[in-house]
Amino acid sequence: MVQKSALARPPASGMAKAGEATRQAIIDTAEKMFSDQGITAVSLRSILAEAGANTAAAHYHFGSKENLIAEVFARRAKRVADERMDRLGEVLKRDDDATLLEEIIRAFIEPGFFGGADTREAGEQFARLRARLTTDDSELAGRLLSDVFDESSHRYMKALSDALPDLSKIDVQWRFHALLGVMVYTVTGPGRIQSLTDNACDPSDLHTAVEHLVPTLAGMFRAPPTLFTT
Amino acid sequence: MVQKSALARPPASGMAKAGEATRQAIIDTAEKMFSDQGITAVSLRSILAEAGANTAAAHYHFGSKENLIAEVFARRAKRVADERMDRLGEVLKRDDDATLLEEIIRAFIEPGFFGGADTREAGEQFARLRARLTTDDSELAGRLLSDVFDESSHRYMKALSDALPDLSKIDVQWRFHALLGVMVYTVTGPGRIQSLTDNACDPSDLHTAVEHLVPTLAGMFRAPPTLFTT
DNA sequence: GTCTATAGCTGGATAGAC
DNA sequence: GTCTATCCAGCTATAGAC
């Protein structure tokens, strides 16, 4: 086999294929466009145009749009889950103290909002993508999220139960559901509260959001047990 | 003009047009299918097939898909807002007591989950539709929701501020945002907590959801003021 | 006024040249 | 291995027969 050209392609260590760069460009562009505009709202064609590739390349590398979504998701998701586990381990190492609950919540939210990537901006983009996935296609989202996040979420629920011995399991579960809801709603940013407050309150600023949500959600978990069973 | 047939169409009182029944059938079917499957996921064609109408009828009555969405929304939305206002008025008439906060929250959530229709089932369907609208097309949703709900939401935020004099405005706004997030996430039902708990916790049962969320969210509002400004 | 037929697009996926 | 050209299905919206 004759090499057509040695131009501009250094003999990178593990890189076997030339098309690897195209593949990465498609994934990068897809992540950006999906998180900005939504999964179903963005066509493969528009991604490929933006990435400077063609439909055949997408089919060659991924086979289908759903597979592309899955690859965009997989690239960062496990890292977010791992960051959550590591941070929970750190928090639980310390002695029990008055702010344990806050620290558990923060250890869950911060990787969720900023984790999985090398910069916080890239992490935010991935957070928006996961939230879009949840609301756009909950069937696909259910499969992808369960595989990667069930284990770490179970550990967090266990840690919350231990930190709040007065609460029943079902109470912890409902409040964890509420925590997830606040996070997804904050990241998808429907803009209701911005509209209601003339932008005084702006949850799209996720750094400020964390500082408000951590103490607020801690208060939620500290509410008395629900006197109710069905 | 000769009446082609007098069969099966009683001379209903205020009904001027014969096509009124078709119009209502389209709206009813659209509400059901939009709330079950999502707004963008459902095509006009499928709605019309289910309703036994044709594309021309839809164009004649509504002009476009967006107008149909707006009409489905308008039919019940104002009634939900009115129910919220009425119930807030009732709550505030009573003397201040230990459960005022819970009653304000309940007065906001229950019309949101069940209101706007003659049966609670129909109200739940409409709640799912609004949540779908929020996540599917936040541009359209923003316009529709603002017009109908801004006034009542402002009154609730005012009532919450009065009931919680230690909280700053911005704290109340963030917590109201969290309240909205929990409601939308509960109603859209992505099913994460069901998956995490083997269906022990099931937020799609909105009646049980209210009983858990009211005390939980009250705890959230009662959290100490956030020691943080940006 | 009602409906059939279709225009005009856009989507994902693919065959086949090179 | 890469890309052009195309297939085919689905969508909204509308023209035109009756």
Least confident of A11-20, A142-151, A186-195: A11-20
Query: SS3 sequence, A49-114?
Result: HHHCCCHHHHHHHCCCHHHHHHHHHHHHHHHHHHHHHHHHHHHHHCCCCCCHHHHHHHHHHHHHHH
How many whole angstroms from its chain centre is CA A151?
15
Per-residue pLDDT tens digits for A171-184: 999 999 999 999 99
How far does B28 lie from chain A, in Å, by closest CA? 23
Per-residue pLDDT tens digits for A16-37: 456 789 999 999 999 999 999 9
CB A223 within 8 A of CB B175: no
Q: Which amino acid is at A64?
A: S
User: Does the structure show a pLDDT above 90 at A95?
Assistant: no
CB B126 within 8 A of CB B116: yes
User: Does the structure show a pLDDT above 60 at A12?
Assistant: no
User: Does the structure show a pLDDT above 60 at A131?
Assistant: yes
Scanning B127-156 for CB atoms below 8 A from A yields 134-136, 138, 141-142, 145-146, 150, 153-154
Q: What is the mean pLDDT of chain A?
A: 91
List Cα–Cα distances, B224 to A39, A88, A215, B100, B219, in angstroms.
38, 24, 8, 18, 10
Interface contact flag, B216 A178, Cβ < 8 Å: yes
**Pick from A56, A197, A158: which is nearest to B168 by CA?**
A197
pLDDT at residue number B95: 79
For the whole model, what pTM was predicted? 0.92
User: Does the structure show a pLDDT above 70 at A193?
Assistant: yes
pLDDT at residue number A5: 35
The CA–C1' separation of B19 and C1, in angstroms, is 9
Which residues of chain B have a pLDDT value below 70? Answer: 1-18, 228-230
Per-residue pLDDT tens digits for A55-83: 999 999 999 999 999 999 999 999 999 99
Distance in angstroms (rounded) separating the CA atoms of residues A14 and A34 = 29
* From B141, B227, B230, residue closest to A190, measured CB to CB: B141
CB B165 within 8 A of CB B110: no
pLDDT at residue number B137: 86
Per-residue pLDDT tens digits for B53-62: 999 999 999 9
